[in-house]
């Protein structure tokens, strides 16, 4: 949507939102990203999952990684540097892949260390 606004393109006809909705969409995306980090932290702190990991404390390191990734995606989107498909971006972006690899290493540490 940011690219549409900066390019002066009209509102998409196949969507229920308009260019004027962009500030609200950005705020909702930021709130959803922060909520995802909170949900992850609540999961890590839950007594049910403690039995699944040998050292569940390692999992807390994933929270700042997730927060960084969400903030980075929001900033790139706001700059108009995020392609239309965020899934393709996440699967091809070197920083996203590095964060995914670090997250996998954190999970492995929580299970095996």
pLDDT of residue 20: 76
In a domain, 53, yes or no: yes
pLDDT of residue 77: 87
In a domain, 44, yes or no: yes
Q: Could you give the number of structural domains in the chain?
A: 1
- Dmax (CA) for the chain in angstroms is 54
Directed axis angle between helix 62-79 and helix 22-45, to 10°?
170
Cα angle for residues 90, 75, 28 (degrees, 5° grid): 90
- Mean pLDDT for each 10-residue chunk of the chain (113 residues)? 62 69 88 97 90 92 97 91 85 97 97 93
pLDDT of residue 3: 55
78 burial type by CB count under 10 A (0-12 exposed, 13-18 middle, 19+ buried): middle
In a domain, 11, yes or no: no
pLDDT of residue 55: 92
CA atoms within 13 A on the CB side of 66: 19
pLDDT of residue 43: 93
pLDDT of residue 7: 62
Domain that holds residue 58: 2-6+16-112
pLDDT of residue 58: 96
In a domain, 93, yes or no: yes
């Amino acid at each position: 949507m940011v690219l549409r606004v900066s390019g002066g393109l009209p509102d998409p006809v196949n969507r229920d939102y308009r260019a004027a909705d962009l500030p609200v969409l950005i705020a909702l995306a930021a709130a959803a990203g922060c909520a995802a980090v909170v949900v992850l932290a609540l999961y890590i702190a839950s007594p049910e999952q403690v039995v699944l990991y040998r050292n569940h404390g390692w999992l807390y390191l994933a929270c700042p990684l997730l927060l960084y990734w969400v903030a980075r995606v929001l900033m790139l989107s706001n700059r108009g540097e995020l392609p239309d498909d965020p899934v393709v971006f996440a699967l091809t972006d070197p920083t996203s892949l590095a964060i995914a690899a670090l997250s996998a290493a954190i999970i492995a540490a929580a299970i095996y260390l």
